[in-house]
Amino acid sequence: MSGLVEGRTALVTGAAMGIGRATALAFAREGARVVLADVDAGAGEATADEVRGLGREALFVRTDVSREPEVEALLAAALERFGGLDCAVNNAGVTGAQGAVQDIDAEAWARTLAINLSGVFYCLKHELRAMVPRGAGAVVNVASGAGLIATPGLAAYCASKHGVLGLTKTAAVENARSGVRINAICPGTIDTPMLRAAMSLGPEIEKLILAGSASGELGRPEQVAEAAVWLCSDRASLVSGESMLVDGATVAR
């Protein structure tokens, strides 16, 4: 049987590790050629090699999504190499500025939103410019459970992810007749290098993070990746404007 996205071209940002890496590999297993973007060129190229190891074509383009000219160059490279774009997962993000609202440095705040929110906007803008003229395509923006509920100590991250959901819904409505679907996924507590780095700050932090999961366990990047690929497939043909929780009932508590 053919894969969910057999013969299509998919773009994944933040593809060097974690959810992005798992998503790039999931697209490859389901039959897509993959364009990978990340600021970490070494790890990004390593993921591209893994995609090729699955028998699929891969192109890595080092990209800082907070810089629109680099995003525009990424899309240009994808279109030049593969002739079009069918799917995109805008995953690149950072935890960013931490602390109580009154203690957050303005520069750190701006940097967090530049990557997590403006970066998604730049990617979505240029992906739509590639997809809308063809009358088909699917985009998934990676938000977070923090896009739906408060996250004390992470106001910038929380605000950026709430913004991603608003952007997703607006773009979905604007493109409801264009043939392009736009959705978001909201991962819960997922076992990624970024999360592990936070947990390593101390046993009390690790305990707090695990307590934030309804199951008391960490989710796997592959579980989020499967949801993203499904949303980009024809099996989700009537799904647009959705903010899909992938969190094991954590926000539902």
Catalytic residues: 157
Closest alpha carbon to 123 in 82, 94, 85: 85
With H, G, I as helix, E, B as strand and everything else as coil, classify residue 136.
coil
Q: Which two three-digit tokens encode residue 231?
A: 């949303």
Chain-centroid distance, C-alpha 120 = 8
CB 127 within 8 A of CB 11: yes
Backbone φ and ψ of 74, nearest 5°? -60, -50
Q: Identify the residue whose tokens are 């690790």.
A: 206
Alpha carbon distance 150, 131 (integer Å): 34
